């Protein structure tokens, strides 16, 4: 269906159509397909937070406007059910929110902090990088803030402009001591968020806000966790490996389908956890295909794609049949009027797939 719309309406619409197509090909979810309700990503996050608060009385949710449900309605109903001592609004002070969360977590609690947009996380950068990430190391394991999970919606929405569209994940991937996790779909979001909350390390969890309402799929109702630092092959192929995460995967999936029509078989990998990342799965795939393409919305220079590229070249140098391709955001600030030019759209990926395979 998406393919026909692509042909009919051209490139610009195609990218928004393709955002809707988001499948979870995880086997364990497919099995239960018939009896689970369909949820969008926002509701899946909401369910995960309900479960987290329900299963651990020492867990807390806080951030700007969260007790009213938050600007994206991800925290709806939590304050009513768990009370305002466990779900509460903070003032507008990101640095304070994260620092407070570190202290709360240091006392053995699960602090689930929300930063309203990933673009607003920079005032908290010092707390995350200098305080959260190094607390365990520099105290010789006396203290840690492993219970801290920072949720932040990231990425393009089609019209977000400079300060509601950024993908800042690479900054945090440069920081040993924290984990960075990004889900691609509702069922993934639920399982990964619960894992992040229960993981004994501080985690930055970026949520693809474009998919909050657009991505809908069946999500198991029960409490389940998906493993961190495990990538997943969501589409098998033999000619080229594509690696991505979050909302970008749906674009890449579209490109894979189009490439298939041209006789190119693409393998698509969802990295899920950016640090520490699952090199083995990517390496195994590249050993099979001999080619690698990485795609993310953040600017190409210094993006996390660079790290993946370098690592895979180190491991698979003699097996590679073409240079590693990176199809990413441009090296400009996230633009207001040129978003479709800035973004790594399906056709840019498709072009790169072809030129890499025909290298």
Partner 1 sequence: MALSRAASSTPHANLLKPLAAAISSSSSFFRRSISTDTTPITVETSVPFTAHRCEAPSRTVETTGQELVGFFRLMALMRRAEIAADSLYKAKLIRGFCHLYDGQEAVAIGMEAAITKKDCIITAYRDHCTFLGRGGTLLEVFSELMGRQAGCSKGKGGSMHFYRKEAGFYGGHGIVGAQIPLGVGLAFAQKYNKDESVSFALYGDGAANQGQLFEALNMAALWDLPAILVCENNHYGMGTAEWRAAKSPSYYKRGDYVPGLKVDGMDALAVKQACKFAKEHALKNGPIILEMDTYRYHGHSMSDPGSTYRTRDEISGVRQERDPIERIRKLLLSLDLATEKELKDIEKEVRKEVDEAIAQAKESPMPDPSELFTNVYVKGYGVESFGPDRKEVRAVLP
Of 135, 227, 133, 122, which Cα lies nearest the Cα of 168?
A: 122
Q: Which of residues 249-308 bind partner 1 (CB under 8 A)?
A: 300-301
Q: Which of residues 10-29 bind partner 1 (CB under 8 A)?
A: 11
Q: Are 287 and 320 in contact (CB under 8 A)?
A: no
Pairing of strands 266-270, 232-235: antiparallel
Q: Which residue is catalytic, options 94, 169, 267, 283?
A: 94
Angle between helices 2-20 and 346-357 (to 10 degrees): 110
- The DSSP secondary structure of 214-236, one letter per residue, reads H-EEE--SS-----TT--EEEE-
Q: Which of residues 309-328 bind partner 1 (CB under 8 A)?
A: 327
- Residue from the set 93, 130, 280, 359 that interacts with partner 1 by CB under 8 A: 93
Q: Which is nearer to partner 1, 103 or 340 (CB)?
A: 340
228 φ, ψ (degrees, to nearest 5): -85, 165
Q: Which is nearer to partner 1, 9 or 338 (CB)?
A: 338
Known active-site residue 162: no
Per-residue binding string, partner 1, 215-254, x by CB under 8 A, is ----------------------------------------
Known active-site residue 94: yes
> Residue 62: in which H helix or E strand, if any?
strand 59-63
Instruction: Check binding of 162 to partner 1 (CB under 8 A).
Output: yes
Q: How remote is the C-alpha of 120 from its chain's centroid? A: 17
- Residue from the set 43, 64, 250, 303 that interacts with partner 1 by CB under 8 A: 64
Q: Which is nearer to partner 1, 86 or 179 (CB)?
A: 86
Smallest separation (angstroms) from partner 1 to the CB of 105: 20
Q: Are 240 and 357 in contact (CB under 8 A)?
A: yes
Q: Which residue is catalytic, options 164, 169, 232, 254?
A: 164
Instruction: Check binding of 359 to partner 1 (CB under 8 A).
Output: no
Residue 152: exposure state from Cβ atoms within 10 A (0-12, 13-18, ≥19): buried
* Stretch of residues binding partner 1 (CB under 8 A), selected from 92-100, 130-138, 144-152, 282-290: 92-100
* Stretch of residues binding partner 1 (CB under 8 A), selected from 24-32, 102-110, 197-205, 335-343: 335-343
- Residue from the set 120, 205, 210, 277 that interacts with partner 1 by CB under 8 A: 120
Q: Per DSSP, what are the bridge partners of residue 241? A: 267, 292
Instruction: Check binding of 160 to partner 1 (CB under 8 A).
Output: yes
# binding residues, partner 1 (CB under 8 A): 42
Contacts of 259 (CB under 8 A, 6+ apart): 240, 265, 266, 350, 353, 354
Helix, strand, coil percentages for the chain (3-state, nearest 5): 45, 20, 40
Cα separation, 162 vs 165, in Å, equals 6
Q: Per DSSP, what are the bridge partners of residue 154? A: 208
Q: Which is nearer to partner 1, 290 or 333 (CB)?
A: 333
Cα separation, 35 vs 15, in Å, equals 31
Instruction: Check binding of 172 to partner 1 (CB under 8 A).
Output: no
Instruction: Check binding of 95 to partner 1 (CB under 8 A).
Output: yes
Q: Which is nearer to partner 1, 81 or 162 (CB)?
A: 162
List the catalytic residues: 94, 164
Question: Which positions touch partner 1 (CB under 8 A)?
Answer: 11, 64-65, 68, 71, 89-93, 95-96, 119-120, 122-123, 158-164, 300-301, 327, 330-333, 335-338, 340-342, 344, 347-348, 351-352
């Amino acid at each position: 269906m998406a393919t026909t719309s692509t042909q009919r309406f051209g490139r610009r619409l195609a990218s928004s159509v393709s955002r809707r197509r988001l499948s979870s090909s995880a086997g364990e979810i497919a099995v239960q397909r018939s009896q689970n309700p369909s949820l969008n990503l926002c509701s899946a996050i909401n369910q995960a937070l309900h479960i987290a608060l329900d299963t651990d009385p020492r867990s807390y949710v806080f951030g700007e406007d969260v007790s009213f449900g938050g600007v994206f309605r991800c925290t709806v109903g939590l304050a009513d059910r768990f009370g305002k001592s466990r779900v509460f609004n903070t003032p507008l002070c990101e640095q304070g929110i994260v620092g407070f969360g570190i202290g709360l977590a240091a006392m053995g609690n699960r602090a689930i902090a929300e930063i309203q947009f990933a673009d607003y996380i920079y005032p908290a950068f010092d707390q995350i990088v200098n305080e959260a990430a190094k607390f365990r190391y520099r105290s010789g394991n006396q203290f840690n803030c492993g219970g801290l999970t920072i949720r932040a919606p990231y990425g393009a929405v089609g019209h977000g402009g400079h300060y509601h569209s950024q993908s800042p994940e690479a900054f945090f991937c440069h920081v040993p001591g924290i984990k960075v996790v990004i889900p691609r779909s509702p069922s993934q979001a639920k399982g990964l968020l619960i894992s992040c909350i229960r993981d004994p390390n501080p985690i930055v969890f970026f949520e693809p806000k474009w998919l909050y309402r657009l991505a809908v799929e069946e999500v198991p109702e029960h409490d389940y966790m998906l493993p961190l630092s495990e990538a997943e092959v969501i589409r098998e192929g033999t000619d080229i490996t594509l690696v991505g995460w979050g909302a970008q995967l749906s674009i890449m999936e579209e490109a894979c389908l189009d490439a298939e029509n041209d006789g190119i078989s693409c393998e698509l990998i969802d990295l899920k956890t950016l640090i520490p990342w699952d090199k083995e799965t990517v390496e195994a795939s590249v050993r099979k295909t001999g080619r690698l393409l990485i795609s993310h919305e953040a600017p190409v220079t210094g993006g996390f794609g660079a790290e993946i590229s370098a690592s895979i070249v180190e491991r698979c140098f003699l097996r590679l049949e073409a240079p590693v391709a990176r199809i990413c955001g441009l090296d400009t600030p996230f633009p207001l009027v040129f978003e479709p030019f800035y973004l790594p759209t399906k056709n840019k990926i498709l072009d790169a797939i072809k030129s890499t395979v025909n290298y």
